[in-house]
Structure 1
Amino acid sequence: MIINRANLTEIFKNLKTAFAKQFEAAPSNWEKVAMLVPSTGSQNDYKWLANFPRMRKWIGDKNVKALEGFGYTIVNDDWEATVEVDRNDIEDDNLGVYAPQAQMAGHSAKQLPDEIVFELVSEGFTNKCFDGQPFFDTDHEVDGQSVSNKGSAVLSIATLAQAQASFGAARTAMRKFKDDEGRPLNITPNVLLVPPALEDTANALMTVDRLEDGKPNPYKNTAEVVVDARLTSDTAWFLLDTTKPVKPIVYQERKKPNFVEQTDTSSDNVFMRKKFKFGAEARAAGGYGFWQLAYGSTGQ
């Protein structure tokens, strides 16, 4: 094949098409547990998360809540996936090996939010959120009181007592969360997030009529099971409320993943190394929303 502008344009147009098709087809779970926050700069400040706004009876002056003194900032990161195309492969019309790479780049680009979001969930026992405490912690401060959204119970369907001590305890704890004025937040846990090792247990807990000890299952159909292999622990499980406008996890997007190419025949990369390039670029980051919308158990 002769290397000229027309042929290069056609080659990389086909690679871009392969990228786009796979980007659209690739599966994704992140929107089930996180919210998209557009970003217009290098970072976003989330100090407003310190307030969980509630309506109150208006008597006298309005009760204006000031933003807390500390900040919670999420800085955007740069992301890329790059593939080299050897000039000899173009001359020899040996381009079949690059279509699968373009497809994998599209697949990877589509799942970037998943990579960010589920890493945040896994690291929530140590990573800090807006109140300066780990996202899943035993002593979040609310109106001078210590509140926990962290447990250690094994997710179990063996007996009613064990189911109550694991899923039931997490669900009850979340539903009892209050704001800084002592009013219930009306948390509605609706997603049970687990790794593949707990998939069968979670599905059974949400579907069977009776637990393994023969007693009725009070938790049937109380949450949607979401399974993701990116969760790093085989024992940890998470209960989330995703019914609110703000979700437990934030996916912050500055620039959507997009196909890029470097095909200038006069570039140093082509002249010195006979390499063209294509791939994906994005700018994004992740962080934590209201800790009150999530409960995490280490399962051990």
Structure 2
Amino acid sequence: MIINGASLSALFTGLKTTFNNAFAAAPSLWPKIAMLVTSTTRENDYAWLANFPRMRKWVGDKVVKSLAAFKYTIVNDDFEATIAVRRNDIEDDNLGIYGPQAKGAAFSAKQLPDEIIFELVNQGFASPCYDGQYFFDTDHPVNGASVSNRGTVALSCATLAAAQASYGAARTAMRKFKDDDGRPLNITPTVLLVPPALDDTATALMTVDRLEDGKPNPYKGTAEVVVANWLTSDTAWFLLDTTKPVMPFIYQQRKAPVFVQQTAPDSDNVFNRAEYKFGAEARGAGGYGLWQLAWGSTGAGA
């Protein structure tokens, strides 16, 4: 192949098309548990999570909800995946190896939010959220009291008692959560998030008519099972409410993944290394939403 502006344009236009098609086709799991927040600056402040207003009977002056003294900021990070195209491969018309690489870059770019969000889940027992406590913790401050959204019981469908002590206890605790004014938050757990090791247990708990001890299963169909391969613990499991305007986790997108290329024949890369480049770039970050919408159990019994 003769290398000129037209041939380079045609080559990288084809790689961009391959990238875009593969990006559109790649699977993505994070929207099931997180909300998208579009960012327009270097960082976003989420102090408003601490004081979300609710409707009340209007008697006298309106009651204005002021932001609490909490500060919770999510700073955007830069991400990239870059591939070098050797000039010799273009001259020798040996370009078949670059289509799969373009698809691989697209797949990685599409799943970037999954990696960010599910790492937040993995770190939820040891990373703080907007109130300064760990996201899954036993002492979130609510109206002068400590409220827990953290457990240690293993997920089980072996007996009715075991199911009640694990999934049932978490579900009941979440439904009893209240705001700072003492009013129920109307939490409705909808997603049972588990690692592959708990897939069978969670699926059985949500689908069978009777538990292993033969007793009726009161939890059948009460939540959608979501299995995430990114979860690193084989015992930890999570119950989430994903029905509210604010979700348990936040994917903050500053710049969606885009195809980029460097094809100028007079660039240093071409002159010094005989390489052109293409790949993907993105900007974004993840963070914790409302802890009240999530329950996490280590499943380790302690």
Shorter-chain TM-score bucket reads over 0.9
Q: Distance in 2 between matches of 1:261 and 1:234?
A: 41
Q: Distance in 2 between matches of 1:172 and 1:70?
A: 28
1:121 matched to which residue of 2? 121
Map Cα deviations across residues 152-211 of structure 1 (whole Å, 9 max, x no partner): 110000000000000001000000000001110000000000111111111110000000
CA RMSD between the two structures = 0.6
Once the 2 structures are TM-superposed, how far is the Cα of residue 243 of structure 1 from its aligned partner? Answer: 0.2
Map Cα deviations across residues 74-120 of structure 1 (whole Å, 9 max, x no partner): 00000000001111100111000010000010111111111111110
TM-score (norm 1): 0.99
1:182 matched to which residue of 2? 182
Q: Distance in 2 between matches of 1:233 and 1:94?
A: 44
Amino acid in structure 1 at the alignment position of 2:202: A
Amino acid in structure 2 at the alignment position of 1:118: F
Amino acid in structure 2 at the alignment position of 1:91: E
2:10 matched to which residue of 1? 10
Amino acid in structure 2 at the alignment position of 1:8: L
Does the alignment pair 1:133 with 2:133? yes
**3-state DSSP class of the match of 2:124?**
helix
Runs of 4+ in 1 over 2 A off after TM superposition: none
2:241 matched to which residue of 1? 241
1:112 matched to which residue of 2? 112
Amino acid in structure 1 at the alignment position of 2:246: V
**3-state DSSP class of the match of 2:6?**
helix
Q: Distance in 2 between matches of 1:200 and 1:279?
A: 38
Q: Distance in 1 between matches of 2:192 and 2:282?
A: 30
Number of corresponding residues: 300
1:82 matched to which residue of 2? 82
**3-state DSSP class of the match of 1:71?**
coil
Bigger drift between 56-65 and 213-222 goes to 56-65
Indicate if the aligned counterparts of 1:52 and 1:179 stay in contact, CA closer than 8 A. no
Q: Which runs of 5+ in 1 are unaligned?
A: none
**3-state DSSP class of the match of 1:124?**
coil
Amino acid in structure 2 at the alignment position of 1:41: T
Q: Distance in 2 between matches of 1:265 and 1:223?
A: 56
Q: Distance in 2 between matches of 1:169 and 1:140?
A: 18
Q: Distance in 2 between matches of 1:73 and 1:225?
A: 31
Q: Which runs of 5+ in 2 are unaligned?
A: none
Map Cα deviations across residues 22-47 of structure 1 (whole Å, 9 max, x no partner): 10111111000000000000000000
Amino acid in structure 2 at the alignment position of 1:146: S
